[in-house]
Amino acid sequence: MPATTKTNFQLVSNGILNENPIFRLALSMCPAVGISTTVMNGLMLGIAVLFVQVFSSCTIAAIKNYIHPRIRIPTYTLTIATWVTVIDLVLAAYVPAAYKEMGIFVKLIVAFAIITMRLETFACKNTVSASFWDGIGMGFGFMFGMVALGFVRELLGMGTLLGYDVLGFRPLLFFVLPAAGFFCVGIMMALFNYVEIVYNRKKRAR
């Protein structure tokens, strides 16, 4: 893939819509199924991924010319692990309130497919600034997916939103269980695809 010709805005919207990590690329499904039980969990993991993705993308874009092509995967892993550790330590030291909520999620990010994939397909071929905007787009796209899933699952499973009781009862406890994560992701994915088909059809008709 040659260097991107997209504008910064296109890069961001590409991450959120066209190449949404969860609904379009179907990457990082583990957290999408396992952690998106509440809006808060989704938001926290989304923020953590956003930071790691942006920092890792920029780092790899900056050093891309010095990486031996045969050992790029270990270098990516090392970069991600370093940033995850740094963010974990800094949060624990200076933002204890956020760390209390996010602590267990941050460490999980080391193994996220979406971050490695963006480094491999985008950051190692593009400039630092393009990688930065791509990272922002992917991070927000992931966050959007997690929050959307969390919204549905928390509302239907626990009758609450962000911990506040909105329904006053629990419609279907099933939705907070891991199995329901698969259903929610599937239905959302179908919805995403359907919207795209309708949109393209209208575009052609015009």
Partner 1 sequence: MKQIIRITVGLTISCLIAALVMGSVFVITDKAKRHNEHVNVQQTMLGLLGYSTSHPAPPELKLYSIYRYIFTDGNVNTLGYVLPVLKGGGVGYQLMEMDLDGGFVAQYPLDLAPEDASESAERSAALRKAIKPPKTFSYADATIVAKLGEKRLAYLLPGEFPGFKTFIHVMLALDPSFEILGLEITEQEEDPGLGAEIKQDYFKNQFKGKSFKKIKELHVVKEPLPEEYKAYLESQKGKESPIPKAELDVIRSRYQDKDIYALTGATISSKAVTDGVKNMVAKFAYRINRLDKVISARNIPAVF
CB of 197 to partner 1, least distance (A): 34
Around Cβ 182, how many Cβ atoms within 10 Å? 12
Residues 48-67 that bind partner 1 (CB under 8 A): 66-67
Residues 12-41 that bind partner 1 (CB under 8 A): 37-38, 41
- Phi and psi at 36, nearest 5°, equal -80, 45
* Residue nearer to partner 1 on the CB measure, 96 or 186: 96
* 173 part of the interface to partner 1, by CB under 8 A: yes
Task: With beta carbons less than 8 A apart as the criterion, state whether 150 and 40 touch.
Answer: yes
CB of 162 to partner 1, least distance (A): 13
Structure tokens at 111: 């193994």
Give helix 96-106 / helix 72-94 axis angle, nearest 10°: 150
What DSSP designation does 168 have? S
Q: What residues make contact with partner 1 under the rule CB under 8 A?
A: 37-38, 41, 66-68, 70-71, 74-75, 78-79, 81-82, 85-86, 89-90, 92-94, 96, 99-100, 104, 154, 157-158, 173, 176-177
